[in-house]
Amino acid sequence: MEAKKGASILPRPFAGFVKSQADPEKLTPTRQLSMPPPKYRPTAVVTTLENVLETVRAYQGDQHKVVVGGSDPRLINKRAKFDQLAAYDISDEDEDKLWETEAKRLLAAVKQGEDSLTFKTYGLFQQPDSKSSYDHLAALADQLLVNLHICRLDNELVLLRSDDEKLHNSSAMTTSEEIIKNRLQNGNWPGEAKAKKGSNAAKDFTRSYIALVDYITTVVARYVVSGAENDAWQRRALAGLARHSAKLKILARAPERYANRSIEASKQYRAERRVMSAFDTSKGLLDDEDAPSGTRNNMAHRNAHKRGDDMWDYNFNYYPPGGMGMGMGMMPMHRHRDGQQSQYKKELDALINLQDHKEDLYFTDNAAIFRFTSSSLFKVVYPLMASGGSGFPIDGFDISTVTYQGGTPDSPLPIYVHQNRGGELNGSSYLGFTKHAYLAFAQVKHAVEGIRKAQADRGKDLKPGTESRETSSDSIHAHELESGTLVTIQLQDGTSGPDEPGVDQPLKLRLTNLGEIVAIMVPVLLTGPDAVSGLQTALRKLGDLLSIDVEEKLTPNSPDFTAMVSIRTRTFQSASSSCLPEADFRPLSLSLLAHADRQISHPKVPTTTAAWDRASTATIKQRIQEIQQRRERLAQQGREWDVEELAVRVKCAKYVYTVLAIATTLVIGGLVCGFTVGESIVGVDPFNIATFSWLLAGFVILIAKSIRVVEWPWRDFLLGRVTCRSLSELRAVTGANEQDLYLYLLTKESETALITRGPYNKLFVRKEEHSSGGFSIDVKPEVRTLVAAGLILVKVSMQDGSALVCLDLRRGSEKRDSRTSIQQVGSEAGDHVCRYPPRQGDRNPDVELSRAPMWGGLRWNKILGIYHSADRKVR
């Protein structure tokens, strides 16, 4: 990599969590693709501090002289600031220094992207793994969430005051305003936040809060910057995070007082709008943002002293290492050092020239920056608070993400599934989605490396596949038990050896304190669908804004990979019925999806987790190799098939020629016998033997034509091909495994013109209504076959029993408007469900799928888990 491209922010290679190309038969947790993946090159940091600060200070654009309160013209900024700190007792000079300090910190973090993530445990984060630790984490996240709403409210107010009000999101502003008002009315601030200023509790809470802001913004920065090797993207992402980070820290000084100021600013603007509307004036009262430059914050400081507000002590040692200090500030710059026009200014000028009318796109660009930054932080902070609607204790959860390779060897289907803290499931099979998800898995890997290194330094290095027996119970109060937080990771991308940790067996790591929990949980939350789709959307919008080819310039170079990451607690395992041995459903981290090597049928492969774990490594390797070879043969055969609308035509010249050779041998043998024997046998016509051999040859051909298919026209027979009109005929002709054939046809349905009919074609999209036509699917699929195809059965609880709901993650499911997610409380209408799941001892052991009625449908009140009966047949 060239030096000018900057530092890499993803590992090279993924040492410790990947798989070797030299061992292609290894399939844990998935199969290798038939074609080698393209060479992977980590994303590089191509932006610079100067470019990031340009974007941060974009508000310093055009300046104009206006008359304010008299005839003396004053110079003011035309553009309003986003994430401005004037209302919170910070001067312009200090504000700029804060932004620069945060930009330096974040840029340094992303340039160290190949290093492990570290989170220093001090303050509240030194507490051992227990319920009280999760309570403290929830309090910190709660305060951070309120401050995020203040940031969003202030920025939406800036957009509302701008000339282009269509950029304003009234719904988001109203939501944030109501949440802040409710907090002020209820006074439900975290106990430490309400503690007396200067007390040890207040200091510990503030230090921990700032440490949490630093770590979250660092992880998010590393994740989003790795999304594209493009300066325009990287500097915008870092600029938004730098401004947000500084403001979130400033708001921690006086949360309640600053929340009041934010609400008052909103009320003041609404009052001005009412006055302007009453007097039909086009310009309202002078806002603080319209005050002369350099005077706004001085007024704010004087007002603060008049109110008796305490000023902030800018002692750098108060903040955690790497936090925001006040030293080494740089004054705002409008141009590069060489005097040339800045790149940011060039981009905006180019955009203006493309518009039908001249307009300042400063607000358009910065609105996109702030919204992406805000939404990214919201998606991380909110799940830190509690377990949502799962009903479990605050320390009872299982957050998991799995990406496995479904489909067939020649038509692989990357399938992504995520289980959030509330137990809700989301999935996708879109290739672009999994490419961006890989970036989040990389951050989890970095965090695990950091904790393993720290535990090794403390003499607690763990071996792959084992769990630490050491706990911190001695330091936990006698009345409180350890939560037992465990992280499991398995990540493979085909570039490392099989002897490294996390390849053949998942790497399991016991977390001992709140700092380690936060260090893992934050990047794990970034593997969620909201964070991944948010990154995709932001990149696409930037491409539209700057006319950049998204596929070529704004798409990460992620390799083909499989992964499973989970953070769960012993409290969850004790409280959840999905962890009981006799249950037929499992959480995502313990389900069939997390064990992709068990998704293929084999007579000697055990389907239960316990039986598989007891099998030797050599046995597992042999069985998986047999499965892989079997499926590779089928893929090679399938390339020669002619798939028509109503049938599959298979070439079988070898079989036909063998039958004809046998028949010809019988005929020629009979003739030779007739001529050879002659009159040596008295009273016997030797040509009767020839006649008998001819009849035998005809019988052989007849049996050979009828034993495999119902109809085999002579023309097709002589041409060495056979037309199969059902799955059972295709199995008889090819000799392939029936479950492999079902998976093959179901996966490739979008690539072929095949139209199917019953009795077991419910899961196919193109169906023939009349029983006389169509390719007959007369083989029942197994549950694990459907999982490999991207169809996942989820067990839900209803008022009068339980049911199975189907998640459809097959290729093109988004276009078919199929269900790709499921919430704790919901309903189903029109898609496949099983109203009465089979139980042990039922006369009919199969899963009976049917369409949920459009009216009324199926309603449930809780997700139990992913259906785990791997070899159960589905009708």
pLDDT digits (tens, 9 = 90+) for 329-348: 333 333 343 445 555 555 55
Q: Which of 23-37, 453-467, 544-558, 746-760 has the lowest mean pLDDT?
A: 23-37
pLDDT at residue number 720: 87
H-helix or E-strand containing 736? none
pLDDT at residue number 251: 94
pLDDT bucket at 319, cuts 50 / 70 / 90: very low
pLDDT bucket at 163, cuts 50 / 70 / 90: low
> Nearest 5°: phi and psi at 72?
-80, 115
DSSP-derived pairing of the beta strands 486-492 and 507-510: antiparallel
DSSP characters for 350-377? HHHHHSSS---THHHHHHHHHHHHHHHH
pLDDT bucket at 118, cuts 50 / 70 / 90: confident
**Per-residue pLDDT for 38 more than 70?**
no
Q: pLDDT (tens digit, 9 = 90+) per residue, 210-254?
A: 999 999 999 999 999 999 888 999 999 999 999 999 999 999 998
**Per-residue pLDDT for 30 more than 50?**
no
Q: For the chain, what percent of residues have pLDDT higher than 70?
A: 73
**Per-residue pLDDT for 463 more than 80?**
no
pLDDT at residue number 15: 35
Contact 804, 833 (CB under 8 A): yes
DSSP characters for 481-524? -B---EEEEEEE-SSS-TTSTTSSS-EEEE--BHHHHHHHHHHH
Q: What mean pLDDT is predicted for residues 3-27?
A: 36
Q: What mean pLDDT is predicted for residues 37-49?
A: 75
More confident residue, 280 or 68: 280
pLDDT bucket at 492, cuts 50 / 70 / 90: confident
pLDDT bucket at 560, cuts 50 / 70 / 90: confident
pLDDT at residue number 408: 87
Q: What is the CA radius of gyration of the chain?
A: 33
pLDDT at residue number 677: 66
DSSP-derived pairing of the beta strands 756-757 and 721-724: unpaired
**Per-residue pLDDT for 73 more than 90?**
no
* Longest Cα–Cα distance in the chain: 142
pLDDT at residue number 772: 67
DSSP characters for 160-179? HHSS-GGG--HHHHHHHHHH
Contacts of residue 39, Cβ cutoff 8 Å, sequence gap at least 6? none
Q: pLDDT (tens digit, 9 = 90+) per residue, 535-547?
A: 999 988 888 888 8
pLDDT at residue number 807: 92
Q: What mean pLDDT is predicted for residues 268-290?
A: 63
Contact 413, 406 (CB under 8 A): yes
**Per-residue pLDDT for 361 more than 70?**
yes
Q: pLDDT (tens digit, 9 = 90+) per residue, 180-218?
A: 999 998 887 775 556 666 677 788 888 999 999 999 999
pLDDT at residue number 704: 86
Q: How far apart are CA 239 and CA 235, in angstroms?
A: 6
pLDDT at residue number 318: 33
pLDDT at residue number 681: 63
pLDDT at residue number 311: 35
pTM, 2 dp: 0.81
pLDDT at residue number 231: 92
Q: pLDDT (tens digit, 9 = 90+) per residue, 424-462?
A: 999 998 888 998 999 999 999 989 988 988 888 877 444
Query: What's the distance, Cα to Cα, between the start and end of the chain in Å?
Result: 54
pLDDT at residue number 123: 73
Residue extents of the structural domains in the chain:
49-386, 389-530+558-625, 642-776, 791-867
DSSP characters for 393-455? -TT--EEEEEEEEEEETTEEEEEEEEE-TTS-EEEE--HHHHHHHHHHHHHHHHHHHHHHHHH
Q: What mean pLDDT is predicted for residues 80-98?
A: 92
Q: If 0-12 CB within 10 Å is exposed, 13-18 middle and 19+ buried, where does residue 567 land?
A: buried
**Per-residue pLDDT for 70 more than 50?**
no
pLDDT at residue number 856: 64
pLDDT bucket at 557, cuts 50 / 70 / 90: confident
Q: For the chain, what percent of residues have pLDDT higher than 90?
A: 32
Q: In 491-616, which ranges are continuous DSSP H helix?
A: 514-526, 529-546, 550-553, 570-575, 609-614
Provide the b/e sequence for 196-232 (b: ≥16 CB within 10 Å).
Answer: eeeeeebebbbbbbbbbbbbbbbbbbbbbbbbbbbbb
Q: How far apart are CA 780 and CA 710, in angstroms?
A: 20
Q: How far apart are CA 631 and CA 742, in angstroms?
A: 12
Three-state DSSP state, 706: helix
In which region does residue 506 sit, left (phi positive, over 0), alpha (psi from -120 to 50) or beta (all else)? beta
Three-state DSSP state, 828: strand
**Per-residue pLDDT for 798 more than 50?**
yes
More confident residue, 418 or 407: 418
Q: What mean pLDDT is predicted for residues 552-580?
A: 88
| Cβ neighbour number for residue 568 with a 10 Å cutoff | 24
pLDDT at residue number 612: 60
pLDDT at residue number 454: 85
Q: How far apart are CA 433 and CA 536, in angstroms?
A: 8
Q: Which of 138-147, 295-304, 526-535 has the lowest mean pLDDT?
A: 295-304
Q: How far apart are CA 461 and CA 512, in angstroms?
A: 12
Q: How far apart are CA 620 and CA 614, in angstroms?
A: 10
Q: Which of 116-125, 307-316, 405-414, 640-649 has the lowest mean pLDDT?
A: 307-316
Q: How far apart are CA 568 and CA 551, in angstroms?
A: 36
pLDDT at residue number 746: 92
Q: How far apart are CA 222 and CA 296, in angstroms?
A: 35
Cis-peptide, bond into residue 759, ω within 30° of zero: yes
pLDDT at residue number 39: 55
